Amino acid sequence: MNKDFQNLSPELLEIYCKKLKVNSCPHCNSKRFIKHSRYKYTQRYRCLECGRTFIPSTGTSLHYLHKKEVFIEYSKIIRDQGLLSLKKMRELCKISHLTAFDWRHKILLSMPENNRKFNGEVQCDDIWFVYSEKGRKLVAGARRRPLREPFKHREFTCRLISLSDGKNTEMKLVKVGNLNFKDYLPAFEDKIGRNSVIYNVSGEQKLKRFAKERAAIHKFVGDINKKTEAKYFAIRNELKEFINKTLKGVSTKYLQMYAGYYSYCKHKIFDPLSEAFLNRRRVWFTYTRLDVIYYHFVYFATQVLLIDLNKRTWKSTEKVPIPDNCMVYKITDWDVDQRYSFEEVKEYFDRK
């Protein structure tokens, strides 16, 4: 046997030989590629379109991983026991805190897209969480304690729009701040099948306006009965319990990922080692651009400035400028009475 295959677990071999399907170039999506020597225990390819080389795992959750065998163990724990605390994962897999954190995100990012439409009775509501900078060490006084009266500070509530028809659930983080009926639009897109009936408990007035615009397509139920209400509270409470208790809070930056995980697990088995997960080739790309994606979200959908972007960069990460039209808050114990100008923040960071 080739020496490169020695010490290779049968599982890793199976992933490379069977589970990972090479159908197109992960860089440019071209189907024109040729075999191009070998890389350790696997085949290397070269794209005839963009000229770049790749292996079966390029761009996937396994991309650039040194301890692939440990990653497999890590994935199995998540599949069988759900998301355990990072501390627990660190102990079980004997990895660093940062690795436990990174791997969890890579796994969450490898979750297959939900292309299913919503049909029949569709529950559509918004669920709020307090804006959180959890884990952001450089931000002075980053939030540690829960906000006492979140609705006094609506600019700090994150709004997720949730859609569910009993067989399919999806959530989208649309905004930090007050919801407007227009905010429902991006969440809906073309996700809801014709002749579906939309039920809504939490944002009734906003949705009414939305429903009016689309009256030809959907029937909208404004009268809320006990059954509808119960469905809404079931989803809301479950998600809140998961985010606030099981995970002990999630930074707004990652809220979408965890809400996605919750929605996925409601109807399917979350298996990071399945072909559907392993063949997601945008994981590395998205992972290294999380700051950029979050920056866009903050820029367009919030009134809160985030500072300290680009704390960690990869050679493929583009630099992010500080948005100059955002309100800047100094978050000290969540007394949101101090606002700073862009110049003041810039000066603060230039001094660092």
Contact set with Zn ion (CB under 5 A)? 25, 27-28, 30, 47, 49-50
For residue 52, the minimal CB distance to Zn ion (Å) is: 6
**Closest to Zn ion by CB, 51 or 186:** 51
**Closest to Zn ion by CB, 45 or 297:** 45
**Closest to Zn ion by CB, 34 or 140:** 34
Name the residue among 165, 164, 168 with its Cα closest to residue 126: 164
d(CA 220, CA 21): 43
For residue 25, the minimal CB distance to Zn ion (Å) is: 3
**Is 256 buried (19+), middle (13-18) or exposed (0-12) by CB count in 10 A?**
buried
For residue 36, the minimal CB distance to Zn ion (Å) is: 12
d(CA 263, CA 279): 20
d(CA 269, CA 342): 46
For residue 55, the minimal CB distance to Zn ion (Å) is: 13
**Closest to Zn ion by CB, 68 or 282:** 282
**Please, which residues bridge with residue 125 across strands?**
162
**Closest to Zn ion by CB, 172 or 281:** 281
Q: What is the 3-state secondary structure (H, E, C) of 207-241?
A: HHHHHHHCCCCCEEECCCCHHHHHHHHHHHHHHHH
**Closest to Zn ion by CB, 45 or 334:** 45
DSSP, residue by residue, 257-300: HHHHHHHHHHHS---TTSHHHHT-TTHHHHHTTHHHHHHHHHHH
For residue 65, the minimal CB distance to Zn ion (Å) is: 22
For residue 27, the minimal CB distance to Zn ion (Å) is: 4
